[in-house]
Each structure stands twice: as structure tokens, then as C-alpha cells.
Structure 1
């Protein structure tokens, strides 16, 4: 039994799966290279990501499961759960060994657990698409910060690229310290040396566009006046907009 370490990328995990089959050495654990591993007598292998090997595994899976199932597998990976490496390896092992589709084989723990994680990640990505609010800076950049439960930026990128195709924007994940920047042509991953927002996700007033604070105040005023106190239903409201997402909403912030 071998502990396999990788760089935390999806391609890195696929490379690990390739190495497991090539070495014929079953994994004890498959974890990020920074993880602490117990046990003194288990061999540990650091696997370097290899795109060719990763692609061979991905193409091989494509012959065993549908494109939709592959997408779900990737979304489950974005959950970042500690056991995700082993779950995906077990799923791949099951798929490669089976002569029929395993996609609906929920009797298998790995299939059932990955389906559950896929749903959780999808729900979080949908909420990010709904609740992200941009602030306009003086140089016409629309900036938003998020700290989602799962690493959903890679799967919400297309939504914002299509919806805001005519403006530059940056969505920055303060939990994972990277963001997506759209320059009117393509989306690129960026890392900021210094994060510029406060704990509430607000940019400093001196770098905002001249009218941004006014627009925020107008929206907050509209929200307050559109609310009918007698018809408030906090329980229903929290069901649709859980409390942890309020920090993204302009209408929920105190006036500046």
C-alpha cells in the first residue's frame, strides 16, 4: 500500500490514477502534497502532474462513462473534501473494471458519495451566480469577492463571461486566494499580492467609481421601501437566501 501525494489539481489526481495502474501499487491514501500523513511504514510517492498521462486516464474514462458523468466527477472534485482523491480513484477503478455503465450504481459507496458531492457543488455554484454583487472601480473594473464553501469559480466562469461580456470584471475568492479576470476577450486566473477589500468585501471608497456609492445607497433605499413589514417571513427568506450569503448582497449591508 502506498500514499500518493499530488499538487491538488484535477490533472494531478488523474496522473496519480495513471501511476497507480502503471506501478500496480494500490493506494492507502491519495492526498494533497501538503497533507500530514500518519504511519511510519507506508511508502509515500510524490506524483508530478503529467498532462499526457492525465489525458489518457480522462479519455479512458470517456469510453466508460458519459460526458455528463465526467462533468459531475469534476464538480465533485471541486468539493475539496479530504477523501475526494480516493473516491474518484475508486470510481475510476469500478468504471474500468465494469462491462456496463456504473453511473447509476448507487449501491457502490463511491458512486453514491460522488453524486452527493456533485449536487452540493452544483447548489453552491448556482447560489454564487445568483448572489454575487459587483462594485465598479474608478478604472471601470467590476470587482466582487466571494468565499464559497466549495471551489466553484471554475464552473461559474462561463455564466459571467456570457452575462457580462461587455465589461471587464474580476471575481476573487478570498478563501482560496485566487480570482478570475475577464478582459473583454478571455477569462484568466489571477492571484493578488494584496487583497484590497475589507472583511465585508467592500472596496475602499477612494478606488470606487464616482457614482458607485450613490448607486449602492439608491439600491438599499429601494430595497427598504419595497419591503412590506407586515408580510415579512424570515423563515422563508432564509430558506431562499441563507444567512451566510448575506455578506455578498448590497441590500444587506449597512450604509457607508
Structure 2
């Protein structure tokens, strides 16, 4: 027989179940295995002293609740089905101290981290909490069911946080990929703008050269125009002086 993985939760000895006659209930209820009794001709011994009906009923009810909270675990070995239920033996103070020591030992053996998120530490503490629920349920089924609700609420909260964490990781990955793509696009855009800038600088230099050439030509034209204008003025002045002199000569004899 190959037993399942070791756990902090205390189990009874595994029981071999005949698949042709015994089946597992959907909620993991305790399975009743009736071993075959050999035929014997010896006298039947007297039945044991009966216990009170209320005590037996309470014990049976507590076992059913215990198996409901902590279902039996099953595994296959070849064609044989093995079932192992949680132990219904009441615990003592020594058992609790032993559980604490065993928890510390397993935390060290499996090198669980003391802080932060650690699946190993979470699994071990979950097993320890299940063992505490088992111990409490044996003595008080109502208290055990209340702890069961607390455990399920904690697991649901952790699952919700895990979903949010996974969603945030996926969102972060999408944003990272988008940022990388945007970075590549931005680099290409920067190269395009740099090339456009160089082309604009080249065009600006060409336009400046044209402007300087035009200014130089216009300056030369302006100088020529000024020179010609000055010559015309001088010519007109001389002509005016000549005409004035001629006019004075014409007018002078008449006096």
C-alpha cells in the first residue's frame, strides 16, 4: 500500500474498500466497511454493555459532521480503492503541543519563508487549522462548524485576492507589452522627426543662401540705381545752370 502525502491533519488507518460492493458518497461521508466474518461453531459471546442512546447518537452525529467538514481522502493502488477518514479520537494537551512542534519542524524542513507570500507556509498552516478544527469538532460540533465557516471564508478571501493578483499581473503584462510597442513606435517616430528636421535644416540653409544672393543682387541694383539717379541729378543741375545762364544773358540787354 502506498499512503498519500504526509499532513498535519490526523487520520485513521486506511481501509481497503471493495469497489464492487462499496461506493463513495458525493459529500465524502464515512464509508462503512463490513468485513467478512468467518464461520465458527464456538458459542457467541455475550454482547457488550450497551451505552446510553443519547451518547451514541451524539458521537455518531459528531463523526458525520467531522466527515462533512473534513472529507475522507481516497487513492487508487492498482485496482484497489483505499479510503482514509480523519481520526475521531479526542485530543489532549500533549497532542496540541506535539502539533505545534510538528508544525515548526515542517516549516524548517520545507524551508518556508517567514514573511511575504509563501505557498509552503500557507499549506502547512492550512493543515494545522484543519487539525484544530478536527480537535474542536470532536468535543463540540457547533464550534467546529463555526470554525469550518471561518476557514471557508478565509479560503474564499484568499482565492479572491489571488484572482485580483493574477488579473493585475495580466493587466501589468498587457501594459508592459503596450509600452514596449509604444516605445518602439516612438523610437521610429523620433527617427522620422530627426530626418524631417535634417531635411528642414537643409531647406532652411538653401533658402538662406537664396535670400543672401537676392539681397546681394538687390543691393547692387540699388547702388546702380542710386548712382544713375545721382548722375541724372547732376546732369539736371548742370542743365539748369546752363539754362539759367542763357536766360540771364537774354534778359540782360533789355535793361
- More strand by proportion, 1 or 2? 1
- More helix by proportion, 1 or 2? 2
TM-based fold match above 0.5: no
Q: Comparing both chains, which one has the higher relative contact order based on Cα–Cα distances under 8 Å and sequence gaps of 6 or more? A: 2
TM range (shorter): under 0.3
